Amino acid sequence: MEWKIEIRNRKGVFNPLGSGVKKDILDLGISGVKKVNVSQVFIIFGDITESDIKRIAGELLVDAITEEYLLGTEGLAGQRAKGRVVGIAYNPGVMDPVEESARKAIKDMGIYGVKSLRTEKKYFIEGKITENDFRNICEKLLYNKVIQHVVKERKARRAEHSNGYKFKLITVDLLGADDKRLTKISRDGQLFLNLKEMAQIKNHFKKLNRNPTDCELETIAQTWSEHCGHKTFRGVIEYKEDGKRKIIDNLLKNTIMKVTSELKKPWCVSVFKDNAGIIRFDEDDNICFKVETHNHPSALEPYGGSGTGIGGVIRDILGVGLGAKPIMNTDVFCFGLPDTAHKNVPKGMLHPKRIMKGVVSGVRDYGNRMGIPTANGAVLFDERYIGNPLVYCGTVGIMPRDKSFKAAKCGDLIVAVGGRTGRDGIHGATFSSGELTHESETVSGGAVQIGNPITEKKLTDTLLKGRDKNLYTAVTDCGAGGFSSAVGEMGEDLGAEVDLEKAPLKYKGLSYTEIWISEAQERMILSVPRENLKELMDIFKKEDVEAVVIGCFTSNKRLKLRYNGNVVCDLDMEFLHGGIPRFERKAVWAKPAYKECEIKDKKDFTQDLLKILSSWNVCSKEWVIRQYDHEVQGQSVLKPLVGIENDGPGDASIIRPKFNSKKGIIISNGINPRFGFIDPYWMAASCIDEALRQVIAVGGSLNKTALLDNFCWGNTDKPDRLGSLVRASFGCYDIAKTYGIPFISGKDSLNNEYSVHGESIAIPCTLLISAISVMDDVTKAITMDLKEKGNLIYIIGETKDEMGGSHYNLINNCIGNNAPIVDAKKGLKIFNRISEAARLGLLRACHDLSEGGIACALAEMAFSGGFGIEAELKEAPYEAKSSKAKRDNIILFSESNTRFIAEVRKQDKNKFENLMKGIPIGLIGQVAGKKDLKIYGLSSRKIVDTSLDKLKEAWQKPLRW
């Protein structure tokens, strides 16, 4: 019997969900809507009596104070027939997270007959709108066809998965395939393997005198995918720049990893090997950090894509060594411009504002439910992200020192733990290795999933208990590639056997291959010595976490899979992991020449400053930050928002992971794709400088600071894209090496292009540098808000004529050619002295200079602290290449690297200046009592004069959604 229960708000109860939708409809440019109501529909199927269903509805599903329910179809639409009604449900195969928990609750009530439970959302839209408006509202706002559909009444339900699966071994005819056919097999099967790779596979099977099974081919495709294999970075590249040719054999080893191997920091525990980089924290614990991207799924389904992105990187931390406890998240996003006209959004893509709202709520709902503070991040905008947003998710973890390494042993059981396997996320690894097209949403829709954070939370709680009792020898997450990559990686040096029918499924009907490659979320693989199995299983059972033995590790270096006894895959591990042909690619880089910006000198720059503060990249991200729980776990020391009204832009976040210790962790990030327009080398240099600047600005030091690199690039099959990647990697090596900061982990996402009508749009080359730093005493931390009237304001570091890629140029609609460079030798001195000043307690406030230069930083410090500033530009250390370049606008807005503004008490003046000897500093002004920002130019004329209120309003307004 199927019951339908509709829950709706009582009359007169304010419905914030409805009014949120109403607001979003206005954003679509549709103005006739008067009112929106949302109700939740539960469809419960099973042997349940009417009196039981009434108990379920009345006691469990409805809120007795604010809601009422309707049972069956009685008058559902009747009372609200005034407007239009639409019901939205999840597509078959998409997990409905409410099902599991609601069924548990019904069981708790002593009612056991429920066979299935699903939910729908019903929207009632009142007002004058056309049929076309209504369709637009539905398609652009209320549902996403990738995961949802409009409910058609009386349609047969749940038929999709009721059919069982009948085993039939499928082989793929490679032996008889010519090159054309091989290419077609790869494309049709969404394998994303090139011809050379397909031919290599064919040759391998030719020697075996048989064709591969579909499962074998999928396993190879997944293991060899760009996502898992990083073929570009590890391949051979012929690089040309300025007519010079250079062969680079393994870019990663020659740049990023080389920094680390040359620096040989004793506190680097595990780098570039495991799921995350591990460094020493204190006598007892290590900490680890990983940042991942989840771009393509987020483009198609922002909520599910970003949620599973954060869920995935959390599992990386759970699966590093023998597992670490996640203690902080960081999220960096890049979107198209939120004010893009709807007609300018390419076909098949969602509007940037909808993507942004979806991504933020996805991260919010997953991160908050996991109980991990999201305490650091950034949001950037550029029109070229419109077809391909970037979603970087990072997690920091802590683990006992002796739990930092893993080694599965022959004979250990393979245990799958956590969520069940379903048809979701098939082909995610290979999908992310291809370009997006307007057909991606239909072809690759299966790659998009909805996560269930509570499953992952339960998994986290229990897994760490098992770890602390030493019950398993290795663990890894099921990420891209699912079981295939997890078991394949763990058993690489051993061999593994798996009986696929043992994997717990969400529903019937999955083929053996689907089970093997499904990327269903919230699953981990453990390697468990047989004698520990019972004790481990008891831990999981105690907290209702599902765990099942699916196979064991062997010693024959073969990957053998069976389905009900039938062998469906029998691969040589050496071929699987070592058989991939190396990439040979061409790369070219030529410095682009942009039009020089002809910007006239002016008398007053107040309007320019307000404009920059209001620009999308600079403006306040409070709307995002407040939706994240950034202080759960109780360990935050510096929160993302600081200052007298808790709303100023902090430079970096600090947590203290142990309540009884003053030792802390600083997390920061550097990202600036605008510099990459001009030169990826200096963009990389600037990103590193920025991430380190932020660590220093909050009172940290370069000792025990490490970096992560995340490259998001266009299609690197194209020589110009690859050329800029090479150049950026060189920048990473040179600057990180001079600063003495090792890289410990990284990831690349190299196919961020969007093709429509045959034209390919690449994203701006985007490098995210994340920094993690151990701080010995968090009580020495410094925030950027001005603290006391009368204190002195210094600029530290030299300002140069480096306006290329600056925000000043942006508001003047140009790019320029002189991107900021980094002089790391000088920079090192500056960083170390500021650290020393912080340690000595000489800094009352400190802010790093980035977008918008001196002007923006002064404004931010002033309105965050609630104090005014009077400053003289002529006191700022300035290096002019020519007398022409000595101009107010350059000093105000240049984005030169390695600069800070510091607030120092008058009584500390001498101490501070003595400490800074040999470093370019300038005493430019004082903290004023009056709440104005006044800046005097080179000729002592007032060139900026406005109130803090105006500055803050300009900064806060754009994203006050």
Partner 1 sequence: MRKPKVIVLRTAGTNCDNETHVAFKMAGADSELVHINELARDEKFLKNFQILAIPGGFTYGDDIASGKILANEIKYKLNADLKNFINSGKLVIGICNGFQALVKAGILPGINSGTIESTLSFNDSGSFIDKWTYLKKETGNRNTETRCVWTKGLKETIYLPIAHGEGKFIPRDSDVLNQLRKNKQIVFKYIDNPNGSIDDIAGICDTTGRVLGMMPHPERHVLGTQHPRWTREGLKERGDGFMIFKNGIDYIKEKL
Count CA atoms within 13 Å of residue 233 on its CB side: 26
Q: Are 463 and 536 in contact (CB under 8 A)?
A: no
427 is an active site residue: no
What residue has token string 């200096």?
682
- Considering all CA atoms of the chain, what is the largest pairwise distance in Å, rounded to the nearest integer? 88
Per CB under 8 A, does 642 bind partner 1?
Answer: yes
Site string for partner 1, 785-814 (x = CB under 8 A): x-x---------------------------
Residue 488 CB, nearest approach to partner 1 (Å): 30
Q: CA angle, 911 as apex, 909 and 914 as ends, to 5°?
A: 105
Q: Which is nearer to partner 1, 64 or 159 (CB)?
A: 64
Sign of CA dihedral 388, 317, 377, 98: positive
CA quadruple 604, 608, 614, 618: dihedral sign: negative
Q: Least distance (Å) from partner 1 to the CB of residue 104?
A: 7
Q: Which stretch binds partner 1 (CB under 8 A): 396-404, 482-490, 640-648, 708-716?
A: 640-648
Tokens of 147: 């995961």
**Residues 818-857: x where in contact with partner 1 by CB under 8 A, - otherwise, as a string:** ----------------------------------------
- The yes or no reply on residue 8 touching partner 1 (CB under 8 A) is no
Closest CA to 534 of 466, 475, 593, 453: 466
Residues composing the chain: 961
User: Toward partner 1, which CB reaches closer, 761 or 846?
Assistant: 846
Q: Which stretch binds partner 1 (CB under 8 A): 264-272, 522-530, 639-647, 704-712?
A: 639-647
Closest among 625, 686, 674 to 650, alpha carbons compared:
625
CB of 602 to partner 1, least distance (A): 35
DSSP 3-state percent helix, strand, coil across the chain (nearest 5):
35, 25, 40
Binding residues with partner 1: total (CB under 8 A)? 65
Q: Which stretch binds partner 1 (CB under 8 A): 564-572, 641-649, 723-731, 889-897?
A: 641-649
Q: Binder to partner 1 among 260, 306, 452, 614 (CB under 8 A)?
A: 452
Judged by beta carbon, residue 315 or residue 458, the one nearer partner 1 is 458
Based on the residue annotation, tell me whether 294 is a catalytic residue of this protein. Answer: yes
Stretch touching partner 1 by CB under 8 A, among 156-164, 245-253, 366-374, 400-408: 366-374
Cβ at position 641, least distance to partner 1 in Å: 8
CB of 897: closest distance to partner 1 in angstroms?
Answer: 25
Asked if residues 287 and 279 have their Cβ atoms less than 8 Å apart, the reply is: yes
Beta strand 436-437 pairing with 558-563? unpaired
In 3D, which of 289, 321, 293, 258 has the Cα closest to residue 772?
289
**Cβ proximity of 403 and 440 under 8 Å:** no
57, 102, 256, 692: residue in contact with partner 1 (rule CB under 8 A): 102
327 or 858: whose CB is closer to partner 1? 327
Q: What is the DSSP letter of 661?
A: -
Check residue 315 for interaction with partner 1 (CB under 8 A).
no
Judge contact between 415 and 174, C-beta under 8 A. Answer: no
**641 counts as binding partner 1 under rule CB under 8 A:** yes
Q: Are 293 and 407 in contact (CB under 8 A)?
A: no
Q: From the candidates 149, 161, 204, 227, which is the catalytic residue?
A: 227
**Which position among 46, 83, 97, 797 is part of the footprint of partner 1 (CB under 8 A)?**
97
Q: Of residues 141, 356, 782, 943, which one binds partner 1 by CB under 8 A? A: 782
CA distance 734 to 722: 19
**Radius of gyration of the chain from its Cα atoms, rounded to whole angstroms:** 29
Which of 200, 254, 340, 627 touches partner 1 (CB under 8 A)? 627
Smaller CB distance to partner 1: residue 19 or 171?
19
* 61 binds partner 1 per the rule CB under 8 A: yes
Tokens at 656, concatenated: 């203290």
Toward partner 1, which CB reaches closer, 663 or 718? 663
Question: Would you count residue 35 as binding partner 1 (CB under 8 A)?
Answer: no
- Crossing angle of helices 302-318 and 453-468, in 10° steps, is 0
Which helix (H) or strand (E) is 119 found in, with range?
strand 114-127
Nearer to partner 1, 214 or 903 (CB): 903
Q: Give the integer Cα–Cα distance in Å for 517 and 168.
A: 17
Choices 106-114, 412-420, 424-432, 913-921 (CB under 8 A): range interacting with partner 1: 106-114
User: CB–CB of 826/693 below 8 Å?
Assistant: no
The verdict on 542 binding partner 1 (CB under 8 A) reads yes
337 binds partner 1 (CB under 8 A): no
- 12 touches partner 1 by CB under 8 A: no
Q: How far is the CB of 826 from partner 1 (least distance, A)?
A: 28
- Please name the residues in contact with 5: beta carbons below 8 A apart, sequence gap of 6 or more: 41, 42, 43, 44, 53, 56, 57, 61, 69, 70, 71
CB nearer partner 1, residue 545 or residue 767: 545
> Quick one: which of 110, 164, 578, 758 contacts partner 1 (CB under 8 A)?
110
Of positions 628, 739, 794, 893, contacts partner 1 by CB under 8 A? 628
Residue 78, interface with partner 1 (CB under 8 A)? no
- Please report whether residue 276 would count as binding partner 1 according to CB under 8 A: no
CA dihedral (605, 607, 608, 613) positive or negative:
positive
Tell me whether residue 331 or residue 823 sits nearer to partner 1 (CB atom): 331
Query: Least CB distance from residue 817 to partner 1, whole Å?
Result: 40
CB 428 within 8 A of CB 480: yes
Q: Which residues of 835-856 are buried (b: 16+ CB within 10 A; e: fewer)?
A: bebbeeebbbbbbbbbbbbbbb
Q: Which residues bind partner 1 (CB under 8 A)?
A: 13-14, 16-17, 19-20, 59-61, 63-66, 97-98, 101-102, 104-105, 108-110, 364, 368-371, 452-454, 457-458, 461, 542-544, 625-634, 636-639, 641-644, 646, 656, 659, 778-779, 781-783, 785, 787, 865
- Residues classed as catalytic: 227, 294
